[in-house]
Amino acid sequence: MNATKFGKRLKEVIEHYSLSASAFAELINVQRSSISHVLSGRNKPSLDFITKLNTALPDVNLYWLLNGSGEMTLKPYSSVTEKSDKIFENGENKSKNKIPSKNMILNSAKSIARIVVFYNDGTFSDYTENENN
């Protein structure tokens, strides 16, 4: 990762959210000097810095931030479902790619046995029916 280019992309993020460097430091809970050093390209960001940024601003695309690939912000889920709706407009079952509504779940004879939540950092949490009883 090029520290100077990273600093430029970080500056874009700060400007995108209309923040000062000081307010951004407060938002992600790091020292102002850390922001200054990263913005200038003097220091590369630590993993802790990146994790705090991702926690405070989860819609920032980390791939873009780290190496310039893709868009600055991640696309909202709604745009993904809109695309899947268009794919299935030709008469096929549209419900295959949609998240079930609350009413569909409540009126169903099925029950949820397991939920897996995947996080941006590659970790996940696994919740099974027995843990909640």
Domains in the chain: ranges and CATH:
3-67 (1.10.260.40), 77-132 (no CATH)
* Alpha helices, H only, 17-117: 21-28, 32-40, 47-56, 62-67, 77-87, 102-106
Which of 100, 99, 130 shows the shortest CA–CA distance to 114? Answer: 130
> Higher-confidence residue: 5 or 131?
5
pLDDT recorded at residue 96: 44
Q: What's the pLDDT tens digit per position in 38-91?
A: 999 999 999 999 999 999 999 999 999 999 988 999 876 444 344 444 444 444
Most confident of the following: 24-33, 88-97, 103-112? 24-33
